[in-house]
Amino acid sequence: MEIRLSLGSAMRLGLEEMRMDAQPTTLYAMLGDHCSGACTFCTQARDNVANRKFLSRVVWPVYDLDEVAARLANDKGIERICIQTLKDPHIMDTLPQVIQNLHAGNHKPISVCMNPVDRSALIDLKNAGAERVGTGLDCATPESFARIKPGFSWNQVQHFITDTMDVFGHGSVHLIVGLGDSDEDLIQAFQHYTDLHCSIGLFALTPVRGTKLKEPAPPVERYRALQVARYLINAKQARADEMTFVEGKLHSITSPSTAVTAALS
């Protein structure tokens, strides 16, 4: 069986030799041969002309799973394993076994980011050794979701998030800045999922040649401001209703100055 690793993860395990400024402590893996999804920003989408060696701007070479598991067992510096799956109707045929293999020699927590599956499949993943399951919601509103992720169901993903929380006791949601949601849309989503005890993974859109979406990357100043807002909400130092917006853009945050300083330090 084969699995893809981010280039940095492969370097960490000694599978590739390149200069690296900092050793990663999380191993990033990707499972699935072909994605049936059509997310307009994604290099793995079925209907684009992007180079599928990439996910975002990261290269993901293919390796033998047993070799990866053996090297992982001897690497005590890895603190977490994150597995990203493609939208593949047969993903559950291999995912539990992959989790078991990676977990066998390195009992570090394993996170899985995947598209919706039924509750029984989540229980199978937990029994295999997964510590949490999250999903790439990507968009903060049903409107942007329908435009950016054709063929996916907003309601199905929301039910899936609830199921992951019920089965694992926690979960995670990935959101991307730059897909058409306003600051207010995103911050309201931060608050909603945080109130559900669901962690937020926040990313900035990385435009990649060959994908259907032609939007530019968001201004770094906007992304940094949203990172601060997410941090404060997650740390329970501020709530969305304590933030003000002008035409959807974040204008100010009513929060103790020490909390803001901590977020910026």
- 244's CB contacts (< 8 A; 6+ apart) are 250, 251, 252, 253, 254
Q: What is residue 20's predicted lDDT score, i.e. its pLDDT?
A: 82
CB 205 within 8 A of CB 177: yes
Range of 1-5, 101-105, 251-255 with top mean pLDDT: 1-5
pLDDT of 58-95, one tens digit each?
Answer: 899 999 999 999 999 999 899 999 999 999 999 999 99
Q: What is residue 260's predicted lDDT score, i.e. its pLDDT?
A: 65
Q: What is residue 149's predicted lDDT score, i.e. its pLDDT?
A: 98
pLDDT of 127-169, one tens digit each?
Answer: 999 999 999 999 999 999 999 999 999 999 999 999 999 999 9
Phi/psi of residue 196, nearest 5 degrees:
-85, 0
Hey, what are 101's tokens?
């293999």
pLDDT class of 254 with cuts at 50, 70, 90: confident
| Segments forming the whole domain that contains residue 240 | 2-264
Q: What is the DSSP letter of 39?
A: -
In the chain, the number of structural domains is 1
| pLDDT at residue 264 greater than cutoff 70 | no
> What's at 186, amino acid-wise?
L
Q: What is residue 258's predicted lDDT score, i.e. its pLDDT?
A: 63
Q: What is residue 265's predicted lDDT score, i.e. its pLDDT?
A: 58
Q: What is residue 261's predicted lDDT score, i.e. its pLDDT?
A: 62
pLDDT of 202-218, one tens digit each?
Answer: 999 999 999 999 999 99
CATH number (domain holding residue 108): 3.20.20.70
101-124 average pLDDT score: 95
SS (H, E, C) 239-260: CHHHEEEECCEEEEECCCHHHH
CA dist 159 and 162 (Å) reads 5
% of the chain exceeding 70 in pLDDT: 96
Q: What is residue 160's predicted lDDT score, i.e. its pLDDT?
A: 98
Q: Is the model more confident about 45 or about 132?
A: 132
pTM for this predicted structure: 0.93
